[in-house]
Chain A
Amino acid sequence: MSIIRGFSIMLLFSLGFLINGSLQATKNTFDYELKAVKIAQDTYLFEGKTEDFSVQNGGNIVNTAFIVTTEGVIVIDSGISRRYSEQQRVAIAKITDKTILGVYLTHHHPDHFLGNQTYSDTKIYALAETIKSIKVEGEIFRSNMYRLVGDWMRGTLLTMPTEKLKAGKKTIGKHQLEFLSLHGHTASDLAIFDHTTGVLFTGDLVFNRRAATTPHANVVKWLKTLTELKDLRFNVLVPGHGPIARDTTPIKQTYDYLNWLVNTLKEGASNGMDMNEVMHSEIPERFESLALVREELIRSVSHLYPVFENEFLNPAKQ
C-alpha cells in the first residue's frame, strides 16, 4: 500500500509540474493589470502589492500615480520595467487624452524608475542627488531585477532622468505643487504636495502596512523627516508602498517601526550580539501585521548593524 501511495504522490507532483509549466508558457501575457483608481480631484493611483519582488508579481509592488492638470499629465514614478510603464501609459490614456508633461521620480530605487524608457519622449525629473545615484547604481539594479522577476523585465533599458528638479513651489495646469527635497530613506527623497487637492505623495519615506526598507537609509535623518511630514496639512497621503490614507497613521506607523528598529540594533550591539542573533529578535505584536516585517528586519540588520557594533568595540592593546 505504502509503495502505491508513494508512487501516486510522485505522479501527482510530476503532473503538477507539467501543468504549471505549460500554463506559464502559454498564459503569461505579462499583464500587470494596472487599474487607475481616482483618489482625489484629477488624481489617480496605481496601487502595487505589499509583497517582495517575485516572478509572480513581476515587480508590481510599488505605488505610482498621475495628476491630470489643465496643461497635461504629471506622472509620479515610472515603475519597475518597460512592460510596467507601457501598461501604465496605456492606462493613463484611457482616463485622459492630454499629453504627458513629465515624469517625477521620488528616489533612485529600481521599482520607482526602471520604467523611464517609455517616457523618453517627455521630460523626466529627479533631484540632483537622485540622478547621481541612478548613474552609479542603475545598471546593478537593472540586472538584479532580471534575476528577481525574470522575463517581466524583458527589453528594460536604463534611461536617465533628463531634468534636474529644484525644490520649491510651482503651479502646473492650475495645480499648485510643492516639491520637497528630503532624505532618510535614501540620500535624496522627493515628496510632492499638491496644495490644490491636498494630496501628499511621500515616495518611500512612508510605508503603509508594510515594513520599511533600508538599503540606503539613514534612519536618524529619516525619523526627523517623518516628524516634518506629519505636520503637513494633507487630505490624502500616498505612500510608496501600501494603501493610501486620510490621516497620519502610516507616518506614525513608519516612525514607530524605524524607531524600534534602531533601538533593537543598538541594544543588540551593546549586548555583544552577533548579526544572526539580532536578525532573530522578537518582533513586537504591534508590527506583526506589517507585511514582510521579518524579511525587512533581516535585511536591515545587514545594512545597518555594522555601524552600531563598531560603537561597542574598543581599540585593543597592540
Chain B
Amino acid sequence: MKSLLLIVISALSLAFLTTATGKEVVDPLDSPQWGVMHKLFLNSERVVFDDKVKVFAPKFAEDSMNVPVSFDASELKDIQEIVVIADLNPIPLVLRYYPEEITPYLAFRIKLQQGSPIRAAVKTGDNVWHVGSTWVDAAGGGCTLPSIGTSTGDWSSTLGRVTANIWKREDAPNRFRIKIMHPMDTGLAPGIPKFHIEQMTLSDKGGKQLARLEVFEPISENPMLSLAVDKHEYLKIHGRDNNGNVVDAEVVQ
C-alpha cells in the first residue's frame, strides 16, 4: 500500500531521479532544471538532499544584482568540494569552494535573472553529493545588466582593491570578510565582454593553503565574501581574473 502511494507521489513529481542504491531521490523544490544541473555540475553522481547542508537566502530578491546567499556545511565531515548552483539562472554555476583546512561556511552575493532554486552541493569522501536548497523569487534583470562600474566607467581606477577585516570569536570560528573591487561582468549585457574573478586562494602567514575558491559570472559586482577561518588571525589572499589581472593582499586581525 505504502509503495503504491510512493509511486503516485513520484508520478506527480516531474523531477525525480534514481541513485546507485535504487532509492528514489526527489528534488524537494521540484525544479525543471534539476536533472540537467545534476548531470552538468555533479557529474550524475550519487545525490542525497540533506538538511545538514544549510543554505540561507531571503525568500525574495529585493535587489536582483545583490542577492545574499550563504551556506554552512560544518555538520558534514571529509568534504572534498562544494558547488553552488542557481538552476534557473542563465549562468547557473555560481562558485566552487574547497575549504581544505577551514570550516565549510561561505557567504556571498549573486545576480539572479529570475526566481530560482539556490543550492549548495557538498561532495564528501565517499563520492556522495549532499545537497541543500532554498528558493529565491526575483523580479529579474540581474545577469543581463551591465555592472555599475562598467556603465559609469570608473571601475579601472579601483580594480582589484581589497578591503577586509577579521573578527576574533571565542566559541566559533573567526570571521573573515573581504571585499574586492571588480566589475564581474557576465558577458550577457550587450557589448560588454565577460570580465570576472576566476580563482582565489587563502593562505596562512607561513604560506600554507587553507582554502580555494573558483568564482563564476553570477557573483555580484565588487564581491563581498564572508568566511569562517577558525583561529587564524593573519591571512593572505591571491586571486586572478579571466583577463590575467592578479590580486594579492594580506589581512591582519
Which residues of A are at the interface with B, using a C-beta cutoff of 8 A? 1-3, 6-7, 10, 144, 147, 215, 271-277, 279, 298-299, 301-303, 306, 309-310, 312-318
Contact check, B162 vs A315: say whether CB atoms are below 8 A apart.
yes
User: Is B165's CB under 8 angstroms from A310's CB?
Assistant: no
Chain A neighbourhood of B57, CB < 8 A: 276
Cα of A303 to Cα of B177 in the assembled complex, Å: 19
What residue of chain A has the Cβ atom nearest to residue B58's Cβ? A298
The 8 A CB mask of B47-61 against A (1 = contact, 0 = none) is: 000000000111110
CB pair B163 A313 closer than 8 Å? yes
Interface flag for B66 (CB, 8 Å): yes
Q: CA of A23 to CA of B160 in the docked complex: distance in angstroms? A: 57
Residue B42 at the chain A interface, CB threshold 8 Å:
no
**Is the C-beta of B224 less than 8 angstroms from some C-beta in chain A?**
yes
Cα–Cα, bound, A279→B57 (Å):
9
> Is A318 a contact partner of B162 (Cβ separation < 8 A)?
yes
Check B68 against A272 for contact (C-beta < 8 Å).
no
Contact of B8 among A6, A273, A302 (CB under 8 A): A6
Query: Would you call A276 and B163 a contact (CB within 8 A)?
Result: no
B162 surroundings in chain A (CB, below 8 A): 315-316, 318
Q: Known contacts A147-B139, A303-B62, A316-B237; is A272 also within 8 Å of B2 by CB?
A: no
Q: Is the CB of B1 within 8 A of A2?
A: yes
> Could you say which of B8, B58, B107, B237 contacts A274, with CB atoms under 8 Å apart?
B107
Query: Are the C-beta atoms of A275 and B107 separated by less than 8 Å?
Result: yes
B40 lies within 8 A of chain A by Cβ: no
Instruction: Give the chain A neighbours of B8 by CB distance below 8 A.
Output: 3, 6-7, 10
Instruction: Chain A residues near B69: list those with CB within 8 A.
Output: 276
Contacts of A312 on B, CB cut-off 8 Å? Answer: 165
Look across to chain A and name the residue whose beta carbon is closest to the beta carbon of B247.
A318
Q: Mark B227-252, 1 if CB is under 8 A from A, else 0.
A: 00000000001000000000111111
Q: At the interface, yes or no: B20 with Cβ under 8 Å from chain A?
A: no
Residues of A within 8 A of B250 (CB): 316-318
Kindly state the separation between the CA atoms of A318 and B236 in the bound complex, as whole angstroms: 10
Q: Contacts A309-B224, A318-B248: A3 and B163 contacting too (C-beta < 8 A)? A: no
Interface of B is mostly: strand
When the two chains form their complex, are residues B249 and A271 in contact, meaning their CB atoms are under 8 A apart? no
Whether A276 lies near B56 (C-beta < 8 A) is yes
Q: Is the interface of A mostly helix, strand, loop or mixed?
A: helix
Q: Which residues of B contact A271 (CB under 8 A)?
A: 167
Q: Let me know if B124 is at the binding interface, CB within 8 A.
A: no
Interface residues of B in 51-106 (CB under 8 A from A): 56-60, 62-63, 66, 68-70
Is B161 located at the chain interface by the 8 A CB criterion?
Answer: yes
B5–A3 CB distance below 8 A: yes
Q: Is the CB of A302 within 8 A of B249?
A: no
Give Cα A271–Cα B165 distance, bound, in whole angstroms. Answer: 10
Please tell me if B188 contacts chain A, counting CB pairs below 8 Å.
Answer: no
How far apart sit A315 and B161, CA to CA, in the bound complex (Å)?
A: 8
The answer to whether B163 touches A314, judged by C-beta atoms less than 8 angstroms apart, is: yes
B1 touches A3 (CB 8 A): yes
A196 to B161 Cα, complex, angstroms: 58
Contacts of B182 on A, CB cut-off 8 Å? none
**Cβ–Cβ < 8 Å partners of B56 in chain A:** 276
* Bound Cα distance A144, B70 (Å): 27
**Chain B CB within 10 A, most for which of A147, A275, A299, A316:** A316
A153 to chain B, nearest CB (A): 14
The reply to whether A315 and B163 form a contact with Cβ atoms under 8 Å apart is: yes
A303 to B66, CA, bound (A): 10
B107 nearest in chain A by CB position: A274
Q: Is the CB of A2 within 8 A of B249?
A: no
| Cβ < 8 Å to A, chain B residues 146-163 | 160-163
